[in-house]
Amino acid sequence: MIAGVLRQFADYVEAGGWVMPPLVLCTLLLWFAIGYRFAALKRGSKRGVRNLLRRHEEKGRQPNNDGVLVRALARGTSIRDSRPNNLRALLDDAFSDEQQEIQRFNTLIMTIVLSAPLLGLLGTVVGMIETFDSLGDMSLFSQSGGIAGGISQALITTQMGLAVAIPGLIVNGMLHRKQKDIELELAQLKDMLCSDYRNNPTPCRINRP
């Protein structure tokens, strides 16, 4: 059964012409990047930032509990407890790694989403050129497929390009909204850590440009 499915897929790729291998590669890269972002955008807790901070103060970091906010909270409280004079700048620097992590592969996904329909359109143009060449030569059948092969290639590449782009656009839109929510929570966490520190005898000095 698996061999039959693979054979059908190979025939499908072959029918689409030379544009299909790049589209298949784009598909693999796209879903690898989406899977990576799913894992990277794990918060680590369902609690809000304020409740998460309070629980951390009471019980400390919980074992086997990983995620962006949990890691940032552990790092941020550790820096705060060292009582530096430039807490805000140190928090910005400490959280930058987490911010880069949650943004990783976003550009790659958007590039693939935008380029896949263009590759499909290129395959469509190639297929139509073959169709018109066959009409000009009055060859309904040829080694490359003639009219039927040209039309088939045009439709297959268009279909494949849209099949790659549309799900990728929808899923990445959801991931992008989640990324923005986490970025807001990281900013809120920094403000709360600085606010708590500011209420102590040693104030939190905020660097301003």
pLDDT (tens digit, 9 = 90+) per residue, 3-48?
A: 888 888 788 888 878 889 999 999 999 999 999 999 999 988 788 8
Q: How does pLDDT run across 103-132, given as a tens digit for each residue?
A: 999 999 999 999 999 999 998 888 887 777
83-98 residue pLDDT tens: 888 888 889 998 998 9
**Helices 49-59 and 68-81: angle between axes, nearest 10 degrees:** 60
Decide if 62 contacts 71 (C-beta within 8 A). no
What's the rounded mean pLDDT across residues 136-143? 52
Would the CA dihedral through 148, 154, 160, 163 be positive or negative?
negative
What is the distance between the alpha carbons of residues 72 and 96, in angstroms, rounded to a whole number? Answer: 10
For the residues 48-77, what does the mean pLDDT come to? 78
What are the structure tokens assigned to 74, written together? Answer: 């552990």
Full-model pTM: 0.78
What DSSP state is assigned to residue 19?
A: G
Across 114-147, b (16+ Cβ under 10 Å) vs e yields: ebbbebbebbbebbeebbeebeeeeeeeeeebbb
Please give the residue that has the higher pLDDT: either 174 or 43: 174
Give the pLDDT of residue 83.
82
Q: Which of 80, 68, 82, 72 is nearest to 39 (CA)?
A: 68
